[in-house]
Structure 1
Amino acid sequence: MSNNNESIKASRVAAVSTKVLTDSKNKIKAIAEKFSLYGKIAPKSEETLETRLQARLTQKQLLEQANLEQIIKLSYDLCHDEPTRDPDPDWLIRFLDMAEQIHNPSMQKLWARILKQELIQAGSVSLRTLQILQTMTHREAMVFQKTLALTCCIGNDKNKKLLTSIKQRKGSFSLQRTHQSHIDYSQYQLPYSSILILTELGLILSTELETNAINPTEKLKFSYHQLAYDLYPIRKGCSLTYYRLSPIGQELAHLIGSQPNDTYQEELYEVLLKYFTISSKEK
């Protein structure tokens, strides 16, 4: 019986401890303590408003310094013996001003790669791209990387695109019936809401575009990561619809990189086979 009582008591203590750590009131208090903002919650008679302000500013500056030092160290570790050029002084100052706000370790690695890239090829990363990247959360960056894994290139244009459908018009008039195969990206954890987020960030152009009808006597170059296809339409009136990455999205795509999604690759091939004769080759 005593063992049961001790077990119950231990469970209650654990529950109370968990509540202390997770309930909203204590969470706000913990944030206030961490950032010296507790003046109205738990005032300490010996501390003035100015004292708390100085403590918060000092902590903020120390954190920013730690962020910058970590990014510089990561960039240093990435470098070898590549020839470099001095970055534009204004670009470098703006880079440091923005990079000091980057706390997430994964995002710090990305900023480290950006610095190395700019040293090797000055002007390759615009300030506008840095500004958008600074506003991105880690979750948004992951959504963008997930999107990149599903992008392709169409024709001779090397800009990345997110294929949305393949159309087959039944005849030469636009009013006639059209057969269309849509790509459902929600099954790859990329719902339409995620595409809207990237559109709002300026990484994807908001307008869905469409190719001209593809001439059956000519091939259309199409690539998905390291796989390159020559597509020959089975019938007339075939076209592709897609979303296109913005110029800033293209810059970030080059920096972030991505790996192909094997399941999507198989589905993409099956959809293409409905409309095209395919000749495939490794890039």
Structure 2
Amino acid sequence: MSRAELIQRLFLRAGVQPSKPTSDVRERQAAVNRRKEVVQLHKLENLQAILDIATTINVGQINEEEIDPDWFFAFVELAENVYSAAMQELWGKILAVEVASPGSFSLPSLHIITHLTQREAALFARAASMAMRNHDHIPRLIVGYHQKRTWFGLFQPAATPPMNLAQYQLSYPDLLTLIDLKLIFASEIESSELTVNQGFSWRMGNQRLSLTARRPGLALVYYKFTYVGAELAKLISKTAAPEYLEGLTRHLAPHFELTKDG
């Protein structure tokens, strides 16, 4: 298929045919009506696909509270423009969760998710698969640690280079994309100083990583997911990232006692 034929095929899906000179008002109006019909048919098919997906999602116990009708019709207006099968699955999950527990997704969150392309969703899924969670369940993408200066170490470097996430298929431009989408916060965050000999537990999927600081002044450095990112991470399909966990373990090993389970 030639480039011109491919472009024409794409526009036909939007109800637009190659132009041809005509002064007939009825022909022009027929073309307008044809496009409207094709667009509306595609939007209906999109909503039907999302409906079919939502009704098959098992979200456990359902809250007796009814869904907000304003939220629902706003959802419909946004969801009718979701064309890819992968994104329709995501929107079906969002609807299922919202019906089971109204208030799970705000309208501003939906507008953010609307701007996600299939590629960006795959990027976010990669980041979510590498994210660690502790007691507050907010995903964090740990990239290293910071050694705070002490009187006995004024002339030692205060920080080590962070991990190169590009080794794990998540480059810095990828992070900037997720930041622009407001799925993770814009800057690295440093945890509070970790207590020496006190264990801290983190989970990544079914894996648990327990770490204990060997000396004072150590803090973890990470990217924290936003509220929307944290909610979306519960729904989006993720694959395990054992190679990242191995790399993180090697990176932290010089200054932390580490134990992996699961």
TM-score, normalized by length of structure 2?
Answer: 0.88
- Segment drifting more, 84-93 vs 214-223: 214-223
Which residue of 113, 117, 135 corresponds with 1:137? 117
Structure 1 residues not aligned, in runs of 5+: 1-20
Cross-structure match for 2:253: 273
Cross-structure match for 1:259: 239
Task: Assess, with a 3 A threshold, how the Cα gap between structure 1 residues 279 and 203 changes in structure 2: closer, same or farther.
Answer: same
Cross-structure match for 2:29: 50
Structure 2 residues not aligned, in runs of 5+: none
Q: Structure 1 CA distance, aligned partners of 2:182 and 2:115? A: 11
Q: Is 2:144 the counterpart of 1:165?
A: yes
Cross-structure match for 2:225: 245
Contact 2:15 2:36 (8 Å CA) reproduced: no
Task: Assess, with a 3 A threshold, how the Cα gap between structure 1 residues 269 and 176 changes in structure 2: closer, same or farther.
Answer: closer
Residue identity matched to 2:158: T
Residue identity matched to 2:144: S
RMSD: 2.4
Task: Assess, with a 3 A threshold, how the Cα gap between structure 1 residues 266 and 34 changes in structure 2: closer, same or farther.
Answer: closer
Q: Shift in Å at residue 181 of structure 1?
A: 4.6
Q: Is 2:196 the counterpart of 1:196?
A: no
Whose Rg is larger? 1
Task: Assess, with a 3 A threshold, how the Cα gap between structure 1 residues 174 and 99 changes in structure 2: closer, same or farther.
Answer: farther
Task: Assess, with a 3 A threshold, how the Cα gap between structure 1 residues 59 and 182 changes in structure 2: closer, same or farther.
Answer: same
Q: Percent identity?
A: 26
Cross-structure match for 2:133: 153
Higher relative contact order (CA 8 A, sep 6+): 2
Which residue of 9, 13, 21 corresponds with 1:30? 9
Task: Assess, with a 3 A threshold, how the Cα gap between structure 1 residues 89 and 185 changes in structure 2: closer, same or farther.
Answer: same
Residue identity matched to 1:266: E
Q: Deviations over 1:94-141 (max 9, x none)?
A: 111111111101111111111111111111111112111111100000
Q: Structure 2 CA distance, aligned partners of 1:158 and 1:255? A: 14
Q: Is 2:99 the counterpart of 1:113?
A: no
Task: Assess, with a 3 A threshold, how the Cα gap between structure 1 residues 32 and 142 changes in structure 2: closer, same or farther.
Answer: closer
Q: Structure 1 CA distance, aligned partners of 2:251 and 2:106? A: 37
Q: Shift in Å at residue 270 of structure 1?
A: 2.1
Q: Structure 2 CA distance, aligned partners of 1:153 and 1:80? A: 21
- Segment drifting more, 261-270 vs 79-88: 79-88
Q: Shift in Å at residue 170 of structure 1?
A: 6.1
Q: Shift in Å at residue 22 of structure 1?
A: 2.9
SS in 2 for 1:149: helix
SS in 2 for 1:255: coil
Residue identity matched to 1:239: A
Residue identity matched to 2:16: L
Q: Structure 2 CA distance, aligned partners of 1:80 and 1:143? A: 25
Structure with the higher helix share, 1 or 2: 1
Residue identity matched to 2:20: A
Q: Shift in Å at residue 32 of structure 1?
A: 4.2
Q: Shift in Å at residue 279 of structure 1?
A: 3.9
- How many residues are matched? 259
Q: Shift in Å at residue 204 of structure 1?
A: 0.6
- Segment drifting more, 119-128 vs 76-85: 76-85
Q: Structure 1 CA distance, aligned partners of 2:91 and 2:192? A: 39
Q: Structure 1 CA distance, aligned partners of 2:12 and 2:196? A: 69
SS in 1 for 2:110: helix
Task: Assess, with a 3 A threshold, how the Cα gap between structure 1 residues 33 and 233 changes in structure 2: closer, same or farther.
Answer: closer
Cross-structure match for 2:203: 223
TM-score, normalized by length of structure 1?
Answer: 0.82
Task: Assess, with a 3 A threshold, how the Cα gap between structure 1 residues 228 and 80 changes in structure 2: closer, same or farther.
Answer: closer
